[in-house]
Protein backbone atom coordinates (compact mmCIF):
# COMPACT_ATOMS: atom_id res chain seq x y z
CA UNK A 1 0.00 0.00 0.00
CA UNK A 2 2.80 2.41 0.68
CA UNK A 3 4.01 2.01 -2.88
CA UNK A 4 0.70 3.10 -4.38
CA UNK A 5 0.59 6.11 -2.06
CA UNK A 6 4.16 6.96 -2.99
CA UNK A 7 3.36 6.58 -6.69
CA UNK A 8 0.32 8.85 -6.39
CA UNK A 9 2.44 11.41 -4.57
CA UNK A 10 5.10 11.29 -7.31
CA UNK A 11 2.48 11.81 -10.03
CA UNK A 12 1.05 14.77 -8.16
CA UNK A 13 4.52 16.28 -7.82
CA UNK A 14 5.14 15.80 -11.55
CA UNK A 15 1.85 17.49 -12.43
CA UNK A 16 2.70 20.39 -10.14
CA UNK A 17 6.18 20.68 -11.63
CA UNK A 18 4.78 20.75 -15.15
CA UNK A 19 2.31 23.50 -14.25
CA UNK A 20 5.14 25.97 -13.59
CA UNK A 21 5.47 28.57 -16.34
CA UNK A 22 8.82 29.83 -17.53
CA UNK A 23 9.69 32.96 -19.46
CA UNK A 24 10.00 32.52 -23.21
CA UNK A 25 13.62 33.69 -23.15
CA UNK A 26 14.53 31.22 -20.40
CA UNK A 27 13.06 28.29 -22.35
CA UNK A 28 14.88 29.39 -25.50
CA UNK A 29 18.23 29.64 -23.72
CA UNK A 30 17.81 26.10 -22.30
CA UNK A 31 16.09 24.51 -25.29
CA UNK A 32 18.93 22.07 -26.03
CA UNK A 33 18.78 20.60 -22.52
CA UNK A 34 14.99 20.70 -22.06
CA UNK A 35 13.78 19.74 -25.53
CA UNK A 36 16.84 18.31 -27.31
CA UNK A 37 16.48 20.85 -30.10
CA UNK A 38 18.31 23.98 -31.15
CA UNK A 39 16.98 27.29 -29.91
CA UNK A 40 15.98 28.22 -33.47
CA UNK A 41 13.37 25.44 -33.47
CA UNK A 42 11.76 26.73 -30.29
CA UNK A 43 11.85 30.29 -31.62
CA UNK A 44 10.01 29.11 -34.72
CA UNK A 45 7.53 27.09 -32.67
CA UNK A 46 6.71 30.08 -30.47
CA UNK A 47 6.56 32.57 -33.34
CA UNK A 48 3.27 34.43 -33.31
CA UNK A 49 2.37 33.45 -29.75
CA UNK A 50 1.38 36.45 -27.65
CA UNK A 51 2.08 34.82 -24.28
CA UNK A 52 5.40 35.53 -22.60
CA UNK A 53 5.50 32.45 -20.34
CA UNK A 54 4.89 28.78 -21.11
CA UNK A 55 4.95 25.47 -19.28
CA UNK A 56 7.42 22.84 -20.43
CA UNK A 57 4.54 20.64 -21.62
CA UNK A 58 3.10 23.50 -23.70
CA UNK A 59 6.49 24.24 -25.25
CA UNK A 60 6.99 20.55 -26.12
CA UNK A 61 3.59 20.49 -27.82
CA UNK A 62 4.36 23.67 -29.78
CA UNK A 63 7.69 22.17 -30.92
CA UNK A 64 6.03 18.92 -31.99
CA UNK A 65 3.36 20.80 -33.94
CA UNK A 66 5.98 23.05 -35.54
CA UNK A 67 8.14 20.14 -36.67
CA UNK A 68 5.17 18.26 -38.14
CA UNK A 69 3.85 21.23 -40.15
CA UNK A 70 3.88 20.91 -43.90
CA UNK A 71 6.01 23.40 -45.76
CA UNK A 72 4.00 25.69 -48.01
CA UNK A 73 5.37 26.20 -51.48
**What are the tens digits of pLDDT across the range 2-54?**
555 555 555 555 555 548 999 999 999 999 999 999 999 999 999 999 999 99
Query: Does the pLDDT value for residue 69 go beyond 60?
Result: yes
Residue 18 to residue 42: CA distance in whole angstroms: 18
Q: Which one has a higher pLDDT value, 72 or 42?
A: 42
Is it the case that residue 57 has pLDDT exceeding 70? yes
CB 30 within 8 A of CB 23: no
Q: What is the pLDDT of residue 72?
A: 86
Amino acid 73: pLDDT: 83
Residue closest to 31 by CA, chosen among 60, 1, 65, 64: 60
Amino acid sequence: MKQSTSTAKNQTEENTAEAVSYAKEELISHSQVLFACPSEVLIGALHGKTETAFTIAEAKQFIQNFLQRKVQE
